[in-house]
Every structure is written in structure tokens, then in C-alpha cells.
């Protein structure tokens, strides 16, 4: 099985096709939509996670490309929203790399993006939901 | 113990703009430099602070009478049930309530993204909240259904009433089992993977007045960004457990029931938060002023992290099964260093209660007092203390 996160860019002509349905029905690919930006008759953008057998996955990609869908790899970034952070420190025990860390003795929490490996552990560990994942395509 | 000053003396100085006020952190270095007696002569008030998750919190709301009138029985605010089993349009919105539609831990570990605490935060932030109410209807209250968008300013009365806040000391939570567990003490990794603690230590209100000598029923304090009052001792107030030579409890001990006007509070100091696999709770900011009546009060208020101990407790079995027992004692100085040693293993520590925000509260309260905006109150009744014999009893299940 493969599990990939991708950005799909749809030409205006293809936006109204039921791709998610076709992927599931004809290719046995589970498409989990992480973010959708679709307007009728305009170019659309979907951030998806595809989950399938290797050969089904490849057939599905061929199908999408044949319909004019551009497929881009997904880069993800963790964003620490400082104004939502209550400075509790709960994330620092969970973050495996010290990207979310406590300055001592002040006990203030900060985020060092350089150290972050985007493991996403902090997303749900943060009680105040002050950490967010932002999806950036390789565009 | 000879009294140095009374609360009346302090209030006179506050009104004249002459009161000397320091935080519970600042007083430590003063005592180190000048000694307790000299510091007690110089300092009138010590301010404390804490900003941590306090589940036993909620708000009483009077929603106002619609026409035709209604005796609201089932009430939902943004999909969260508020208890309507009191008078016609009064409800109690509890911090930990979650929507009936939340899958909770059926989808383990549940994420609990929204609940009563978030509704409280949204109301305080001035946001519109969707009210749905139903009733069986009576001759005097005929209306059976109601929907409305409301704001805090539309509500007649809204007051925070927290039955248990400001725990005096708390456990340090660890996990001895082989799987990650999700608790009200946060995420605990297997085999002593981490330790979480939840107290502001040397800044924490009740750790600075360990025997409740100055705090009592009616004490005015900082609550949620405005003023509040101690309305009673809190639920599970347990003053008779083990204490150190400095009178500081070694286990979770005293608690406070607090009350205050929600309409004046700030969402910065009342935050709805979600504990993975556990639920929703309210992060509450509280700051208690301590009048330095004598040298003993000052000595207590000058307690430092290295002199406050907490018990390390296993939350995989010992706590949930009610077995009890401690894996050892550690000081808040050790906890704040970032790691402690338990059963010979060095493990990382993380707080759940914010020390920098606790400091901001103590500092804010200090500024209020210095500016003459906040005077101190004489308690109208004292809280049961170490000599009260008060005990917490377990519940015996019949089934
Ligand atoms: S994504 Fe992982 S590495 Fe990055 S901050 Fe969160 S927990 Fe730390
Ligand atoms: S857990 Fe969230 S709120 Fe707490 S310190 Fe980390 S980022 Fe801030």
C-alpha cells in the first residue's frame, strides 16, 4: 500500500468531474481531501492524501494526468501561531526534536522551524490549537 | 506572632499610593538579601498567579425572557448543553461539556475540539453564540422552542462560578505501561517516556499561603482578567495531608471555589483548551494578593521552587485504579530544570500550567494595587486548615 500527499491542480474544464468518486470506484484509491479550493468553471486546487495499492495508485495518477490534472508533490510546514499560544509548555514534552522548546529559567515557549521534522505530534498535543499545518505545493 | 500591619493599614497605604507590592518571585530575592524580618517590614503585599487548566469551572447565565415566555429545559449554546434544571431562563454552562454529536473517545484518542470552555471563551471574546432551547411548556411559560443568536452583552447576568480552582500543589504524571496514554495530565509516553506537572510552583496562590492564614471566604483576587472573589473552599479541599517543615503540602491539598463577573473578564485569561483523548477544559488565570500581616506570612510567601515537592504518580495504573502510592518526590526546581530521575531513569518534564503567564498575572495584580485600583479584603470566614480534621472520602460503588 502507498500513502501520498499531493496537490492536484485542475484545469477549468475538468473541475466539475467527480474525480474522488472515480478514484474510489474505478481505481480502488481512497482519496482523503485535506484542503479544497474549487470554484465552478475556474481552475481548482485540491490537497489530497491518496491511499492505495501501488499498481492502483499508478493507474490512478495516469488517469488524472490524462484528464489534464497537474500533480505536484506536497511540502508541509508547521506554523506556530504565537498569539494563540498560552505558553503552557505541554507540546515541549511531545516534540521529538526540540523545535518547540522552553527557555529556562523564564519558562517561555518558542518554536524553531529549522529543527521541525513535520512529524505532526504537536498538532493535537497542543491544547490551545496554537500549532497548524500549512500545505505548500512545489509550485 | 506579632502583627506588623492590618489589612486596613495596607488599604490606607494603597489609597495613598504608598503600598509596597512585590510578586511571589521577587520576594524570594528580597528575603535572600535582607532576611525575612526586614523584608516583612518593607513589603505590604505579595502577589501570586497561576494560569492552568481548571476543569471544575463554568458560568451561570440568565438568558432573558422571550415572548411568549419560556421555561427552558434543554438548552444548547453552539451545540453544547448548558444545564437548565434551575429557574426558567437560568442555565449553568460547564467547562468540560462537549456537544452530544462529539464522537469523544469512540475515535480514540478523541480530539475534543470544542466544548463548554470554548463557548465561555467565545462569549467573553464578544462573539455571537447560537442558542437553541426547548421546553415542555406550562401555563405560565407556554413557549416550547426557541432559536437565537446571542452575545454576552445581551445576557442579563453572566458570572463565572468555578467550584474547584487553584489546586494547592499537584501530582507529576508519568506512565509505567507499554502504551501511550492520554490523560487530563496530557499525553504520557510509555515506559516513563515523559513527566507532566501542573503548578506554577513558587508563584502559585495557595503554595504561598499554605495554611490559608490570609485567604478566606470573600477574599478579592484576580480572576479571568478582572476581579473575582473566593466564594467558599473548593471541592476536594483537602488540607490535612502531609506537609513539609515549611507547612507546604506535599500532595494535592487545598482548593478554592471562585466567583466573578464574566462580562468584565478577558478571553486572554479564560481559554477553552482540548486535551487529546481526555476532553475539554478551561484554562483559567487567577492571582491572589497576600497581605503581609506578620513575618510568618512573609516567610510562607517567600517559598521557592526548590522547597516545594510533588509526588510522581503512575497514570497508567496507580491513579486510574485508585491504588495510590508515589514513585518518589521531586521539587519544582527539578521539574523546571527539564528533567527528573524516576526509578533510575532520567526523563524529560513538561508543564501544563504556564509559568510566564502566571508571572504576568502576578505582575498585573501588583500594578493594579500600586495604581490604587485594587484594595484588599478581610475574609468573612476562614477556610478549613491543617488542624480542621477535614478528610476526602472515596465513593463505594454498589455495582
Ligand atoms: S511537527 Fe514534530 S518536530 Fe515539528 S514542532 Fe511539531 S512535534 Fe516538533
Ligand atoms: S502546547 Fe500549544 S499552547 Fe501550549 S506552549 Fe505549546 S504551542 Fe503553546
Domain membership of residue B398 (yes or no) is: no
Average pLDDT, stretch A30-44? 78
Is it the case that residue A39 has pLDDT exceeding 90?
no
CATH number given to A2-73: 3.30.70.260
Closest protein CA for atom 2 of ligand 1: A119
Measured in Å, residue A123 CA sits from the centre of ligand 2 at 10
Tell which atom from ligand 1 comes closest to the C-alpha of A117: 3
Of B275, B276, B338, Cβ closest to residue A102: B338
Domain membership of residue B352 (yes or no) is: yes
For chain A, say whether B394 makes contact (Cβ under 8 Å).
Answer: no
Band (pLDDT 50/70/90 cuts) for residue B138 is very high
Of B23, B50, B47, give the one whose Cα is nearest residue B353. Answer: B50
By mean pLDDT, which of A74-78, B285-289, B334-338, B356-360 is the weakest? A74-78
Q: Which ligand is nearest to the CA of A113?
A: 1
Of B53, B383, B399, B397, give the one whose Cα is nearest residue B236. Answer: B383
Query: So what's the pLDDT on residue B294?
Result: 98
The pair phi, psi for residue B264, each rounded to 5°, is -95, -5
Query: So what's the pLDDT on residue B205?
Result: 98
Q: Which residues contact A102 (CB under 8 A, 6 or more apart)?
A: A89, A92, A108, A109, B338, B350, B351
pLDDT digit string (tens) for A48-88? 888 999 999 999 999 999 988 888 877 778 999 999 999 99
The pTM score is 0.88
Average pLDDT, stretch B100-112? 95
Domain membership of residue B151 (yes or no) is: yes
Measured in Å, residue A120 CA sits from the centre of ligand 2 at 13
Average pLDDT, stretch B63-68? 96
Average pLDDT, stretch B123-131? 98
Band (pLDDT 50/70/90 cuts) for residue A47 is confident
- Name beta bridge partners: A73: A6
Measured in Å, residue A102 CA sits from the centre of ligand 2 at 10
Strand residue runs (E) in B29-154: 45-47, 50-53, 58-62, 74-77, 80-83, 90-94, 129-134, 145-150
Average pLDDT, stretch B180-185? 97
Closest protein CA for atom 6 of ligand 1: A122
Q: Are residues B187 and B275 in the same domain?
A: yes
Query: So what's the pLDDT on residue A6?
Result: 84
Is it the case that residue A41 has pLDDT exceeding 80?
no
Of A104, A107, A129, Cβ closest to residue B274: A129
Average pLDDT, stretch B96-117? 96
Q: What is the mean pLDDT of chain B?
A: 97
Q: Are residues B257 and B144 in the same domain?
A: no
Is it the case that residue B86 has pLDDT exceeding 70?
yes
Average pLDDT, stretch B116-131? 98
Q: Are residues B86 and B23 in the same domain?
A: no
Domain ranges of chain A: 2-73, 78-135
Domain membership of residue B394 (yes or no) is: no
Q: Are residues B361 and B293 in the same domain?
A: yes
Domain membership of residue B386 (yes or no) is: no
Q: Are residues B148 and B188 in the same domain?
A: no
pLDDT digit string (tens) for B184-193? 999 999 999 9
The dihedral built from the CA positions of residue B131, B137, B138 and B141, taken in this order, carries a sign that is positive
Is it the case that residue B26 has pLDDT exceeding 90?
yes
Domain boundary among B160, B186, B203: B160
Distance from CA of B273 to the nearest CA of A (A): 5
Q: Which phi-psi region, left, alpha or beta, contains residue B344 (left: φ > 0; alpha: ψ -120 to 50)? A: left
CA dist B4 and B18 (Å) reads 16
Q: Are strands B181-183 and B289-291 parallel, antiparallel or unpaired?
A: unpaired
Is it the case that residue B236 has pLDDT exceeding 80?
yes
Give domain A78-135's CATH architecture: 2-Layer Sandwich (3.30)
Q: Are residues B177 and B317 in the same domain?
A: yes
pLDDT digit string (tens) for B297-315? 999 999 999 999 999 999 9
C-alpha cell at position B161: 462560578
Query: So what's the pLDDT on residue A3?
Result: 85
Q: Are residues B284 and B154 in the same domain?
A: no
Is residue A97 within 8 Å of residue A70, measured between CB atoms?
no
Q: Are residues B282 and B324 in the same domain?
A: yes
Is it the case that residue A138 has pLDDT exceeding 60?
no
Q: Are residues B132 and B25 in the same domain?
A: no
C-alpha cell at position B63: 438568558
Complex-level ipTM: 0.92
Average pLDDT, stretch A83-105? 95
Percent of chain A with pLDDT over 70: 96
Query: So what's the pLDDT on residue A75?
Result: 76
Q: Which residues contact A63 (CB under 8 A, 6 or more apart)?
A: A22, A23, A26, A27
Of B225, B249, B212, B165, give the one whose Cα is nearest residue B379. Answer: B212
Domain membership of residue B392 (yes or no) is: no
Is it the case that residue A97 has pLDDT exceeding 60?
yes
Q: Are residues B286 and B335 in the same domain?
A: yes
pLDDT digit string (tens) for B142-172? 999 999 999 999 999 999 999 999 999 999 9
Domain membership of residue B399 (yes or no) is: no
Q: What is the mean pLDDT of chain A?
A: 87
User: What are the chain A neighbours of B23 within 8 Å (beta carbons)?
Assistant: none
Q: Are residues B245 and B284 in the same domain?
A: yes
Query: So what's the pLDDT on residue A15?
Result: 67
Percent of chain B with pLDDT over 90: 98
Domain boundary among B134, B160, B186: B160
**A128·B350 Cβ contact <8 A:** no
C-alpha cell at position A57: 495508485
For chain B, say whether A130 makes contact (Cβ under 8 Å).
Answer: no
Element (H, E) at A110: strand A108-111
Tell which atom from ligand 2 comes closest to the C-alpha of A109: 5
Q: Are residues B176 and B134 in the same domain?
A: no
Which residues form the domain of B156? 58-160
Element (H, E) at B119: helix B116-124
For chain B, say whether A115 makes contact (Cβ under 8 Å).
Answer: no
Q: Count of domains in chain B? A: 2
Amino acid at each position: 500500500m502507498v500513502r501520498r500527499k499531493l496537490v492536484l491542480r485542475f484545469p477549468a474544464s475538468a473541475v466539475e468531474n467527480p474525480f474522488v468518486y472515480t478514484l474510489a470506484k474505478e481505481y480502488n484509491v481512497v482519496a482523503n481531501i485535506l484542503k479544497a479550493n474549487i470554484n465552478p468553471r475556474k481552475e481548482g486546487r485540491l490537497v489530497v492524501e491518496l491511499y492505495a495499492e501501488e499498481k492502483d495508485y499508478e493507474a490512478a495518477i495516469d488517469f488524472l494526468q490524462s484528464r489534464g490534472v497537474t500533480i505536484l508533490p506536497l511540502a508541509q510546514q508547521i506554523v506556530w501561531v504565537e498569539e494563540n499560544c498560552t505558553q503552557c509548555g505541554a507540546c515541549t514534552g511531545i516534540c521529538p526534536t526540540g523545535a518547540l522548546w522552553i527557555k529556562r529559567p523564564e519558562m517561555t515557549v518558542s518554536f524553531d522551524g529549522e529543527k521541525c521534522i513535520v512529524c505532526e505530534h504537536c498538532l493535537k498535543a497542543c491544547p490551545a490549537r496554537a500549532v497548524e499545518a500549512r500545505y505548500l505545493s512545489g509550485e | 506572632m506579632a502583627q506588623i500591619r492590618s489589612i486596613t493599614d495596607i488599604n490606607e497605604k494603597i489609597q495613598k499610593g504608598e503600598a509596597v507590592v512585590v510578586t511571589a518571585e521577587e520576594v524570594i530575592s528580597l528575603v535572600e538579601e535582607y532576611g525575612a524580618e526586614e523584608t516583612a517590614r518593607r513589603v505590604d503585599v505579595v502577589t501570586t498567579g497561576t494560569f492552568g487548566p481548571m476543569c471544575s469551572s463554568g458560568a451561570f447565565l440568565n438568558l432573558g425572557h422571550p415572548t411568549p415566555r419560556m421555561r427552558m429545559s434543554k438548552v444548547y449554546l453552539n451545540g453544547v448543553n448548558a444545564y437548565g434544571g434551575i429557574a426558567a431562563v437560568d442555565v449553568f454552562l460547564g467547562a468540560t461539556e462537549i456537544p452530544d454529536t462529539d464522537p469523544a473517545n469512540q475515535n480514540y484518542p478523541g480530539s475534543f475540539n470544542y466544548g463548554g470552555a470554548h463557548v465561555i471563551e467565545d462569549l467573553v471574546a464578544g462573539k455571537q453564540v447560537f442558542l437553541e432551547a426547548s421546553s415542555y411548556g406550562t401555563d405560565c411559560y407556554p413557549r416550547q422552542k426557541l432559536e437565537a443568536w446571542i452575545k454576552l452583552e445581551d445576557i442579563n447576568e453572566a458570572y463565572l462560578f468555578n467550584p474547584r480552582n487553584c489546586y494547592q500543589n499537584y501530582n507529576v504524571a508519568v506512565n509505567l505501561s507499554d502504551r501511550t496514554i492520554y490523560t487530563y495530565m496530557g499525553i504520557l509516553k510509555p515506559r516513563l517516556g515523559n513527566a507532566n506537572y501542573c503548578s506554577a510552583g513558587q508563584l502559585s496562590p495557595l503554595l504561598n499561603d499554605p495554611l490559608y492564614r490570609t485567604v478566606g471566604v470573600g477574599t478579592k483576587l484576580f480572576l479571568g482578567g478582572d476581579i473575582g472573589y473566593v466564594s467558599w473552599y473548593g471541592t476536594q479541599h483537602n488540607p490535612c495531608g502531609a506537609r513539609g517543615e515549611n507547612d507546604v503540602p506535599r500532595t494535592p491539598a487545598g482548593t478554592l471555589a471562585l466567583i466573578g463577573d464574566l462580562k468584565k473578564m478577558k478571553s486572554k485569561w479564560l481559554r477553552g483548551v482540548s486535551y487529546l483523548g481526555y476532553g475539554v477544559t478551561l484554562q483559567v488565570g487567577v492571582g491572589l494578593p497576600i497581605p503581609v500581616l506578620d513575618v510568618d506570612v512573609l516567610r510562607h510567601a517567600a517559598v521557592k521552587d526548590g522547597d516545594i515537592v510533588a509526588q510522581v504518580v503512575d497514570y497508567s495504573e496507580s491513579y486510574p485504579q485508585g491504588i495510590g502510592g508515589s514513585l518518589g518526590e521531586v521539587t519544582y526546581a527539578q521539574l523546571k530544570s527539564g528533567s527528573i530521575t524516576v526509578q533510575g531513569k532520567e526523563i524529560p518534564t513538561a508543564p501544563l500550567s504556564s509559568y510566564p503567564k502566571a508571572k504576568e498575572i502576578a505582575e498585573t495584580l501588583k500594578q493594579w494595587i500600586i495604581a490604587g485600583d485594587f484594595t484588599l479584603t478581610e475574609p468573612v470566614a476562614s477556610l478549613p486548615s491543617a488542624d480542621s480534621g477535614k478528610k476526602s472520602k472515596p465513593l463505594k460503588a454498589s455495582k
